[in-house]
Amino acid sequence: MSTKRPEALRVAVLASGRGSNLQAVIDAIEAGTVQAKIVSVISNKKDAPALERASRQGLSSLFVDPKPYAGRPDSREAYDRELLDVLRRHNVELVLLAGYMKIVTKVLVEAFANRMMNIHPSLLPSFPGLDVQKKAIEWGCKLAGCTVHFVTEGVDEGPIILQAAVPILDDDTSDTLAARILEQEHKIYPRAVQLFAEGRLRVEGRRVFIEAGKPDGQAVISPS
Ligand code: GRF
């Protein structure tokens, strides 16, 4: 059961690649399981399939070129200040990093403290960084998975919101494992967005608590 917001949560998605997580959120919004509106899809890559996907869906999509900032000592912060302007212009309430291959700086992290999420294809804090499915197999792990977390300055370090685990099979390659994990990513990312939209995520230090839904005044459903 959810707290009804007067208007849909305004979400921006930052993506550098194929955008399947973006698509999962779009689909969940269309299916009515997530009460949100994607007001902007932004990429640091001009030819990111995620941007194409966004335009196909009629969403506002924007390439923000990092090149003009290259070489400056504060290049990353300056880039993020440009992003912040865009996000503010769109009155964004929640930012989703979805395969966004650029490390975000203090500029965005502070402006969107506990309002910016990332999805990562490992069971954090194991295997932050890149090529993590391969690393999990090589380490000999029996379980892998994915994590949705709030974004802090440390890469893949923020408070964990949701995780899903999958088995690692003997004949897994990093591709087969990545595909199994991705299926779960597409479930838990929209779910985390909806929990946020319902105002049910409470952060205490490193821990994120999911509060029970509050009656919306119209009906009480039992069990909720
Ligand atoms: C996903 O595996 C996500 O966990 C990671 O980057 C990948 C992005 O995939 N951060 P997509 O662009 O959403 O398809």
Check pocket membership of 98 for ligand 1, CB cut-off 6 A: yes
The phi-psi region of residue 25 (left if phi > 0; otherwise alpha if psi is between -120 and 50; otherwise beta) is: alpha
Q: Per-residue confidence of the chain (224 residues) as pLDDT tens digits?
A: 555 677 899 999 999 999 999 999 999 999 999 999 999 999 999 999 999 999 999 999 999 999 999 999 999 999 999 999 999 999 999 999 999 999 999 999 999 999 999 999 999 999 999 999 999 999 999 999 999 999 999 999 999 999 999 999 999 999 999 999 999 999 999 999 999 999 999 999 999 999 997 655 555 555 55
Strand order across the 116-120 sheet: 61-63, 36-43, 9-14, 94-97, 116-120, 143-150, 160-167, 207-210, 201-204
In the chain, what is the straight-line distance between the N-terminal and C-terminal CA atoms, in Å? Answer: 6
Give the position, in ligand 1's atom list, of the atom nearest the Cα of 182: 2
Cβ 149 vs Cβ 159: under 8 Å: yes
Q: Which residue, judged by its Cα, is nearest atom 6 of ligand 1? A: 99
List 150's β-bridge partners, or say none: 117
91: left (phi over 0), alpha (psi -120 to 50) or beta: left
Q: Which of 90, 120, 149, 186 is catalytic?
A: 120
Predicted local distance difference test score (pLDDT) of residue 6:
74
Q: What pLDDT is attached to residue 4?
A: 61
- The model's pTM: 0.94
Q: What is the pLDDT of residue 213?
A: 72
From the CB of 128, is ligand 1 less than 6 Å away? no
Domain 9-221 superfamily per CATH: Formyl transferase, N-terminal domain (3.40.50.170)
